[in-house]
Amino acid sequence: MIANQVKARLAAGETVVGCFLRSGDSTLAEFAALQGWDFLVFDGEHGTLHPGDIADLARAAELHGVTPLARVTTNDPSTILRFLDAGTHGVHVPWVNSAAGAERVVQSVKYGPRGIRGVAGNRLSGWTVDAGSLAAANRESLVVVHIETAEAVEAIDEFVEVDGIDVLFIGPTDLSHSLGVTGEMDHPRLIEAMEKVAAAVVPSPVTLGMFASSPATVRAWREKGARYFTTGLEPLLRPAMRKYLEESRD
């Protein structure tokens, strides 16, 4: 089992920054890894990725010391199992609205006795099955649970009590939609909800995570205690492409 560098750095109190990728192109994943991200999240929810794409993407990330993770499509044990067995070092799980749902995530990621993950050899265990490889997988796998609905915000004090969650991750766009202020990132209702999550998570053993489309957002939420950040490839490419075109045509 490859050591999960992101998990180790979070345990040491450090901040990590990653990027969502929707493409199944392993060359793009390798190019992204070369830029110095701490982790890459291969997106099976909003992209076209399925577990069959993941192994080569994970290898491309690992080649340059970048931790490969996956955002799964849904909080389903068999789905989570397939993304993990393909070689990711952990998962982002969207649309988790209760502590019971968060417990389901942890059980799906972990082997017994903590969880219910089915046992088979896979690329991270060297396609072997023994007590040591299962214990290592339980120790190294990163569990990231999304908080992106009003219902989840209301239950946040219960989420932090679930053993085995590494990161509670705010998805501000979905959360804004759930709160009836779609896309209004500065709306007081959204800010209040995110700060309620932060107030519960930051003092707990769980790390607060945040989707941050700009460095300014990273800086602002680092001051509030978040230490796990992601952005997307598109928010980075769009302004760079537009600037290039505008300046070229000026």
Contact 24, 57 (CB under 8 A): yes
Catalytic residues: 46
Cα separation, 163 vs 166, in Å, equals 9
Cα separation, 84 vs 158, in Å, equals 26
Measure CA 199 to chain center: 20
Cα separation, 74 vs 70, in Å, equals 12
CB burial of residue 199 (10 Å; 0-12, 13-18, 19+): middle
For tokens 């990132």, the residue is 185
SS3 246: helix
SS3 241: helix
**Radius of gyration for the alpha carbons in the chain, expressed in angstroms and rounded:** 18
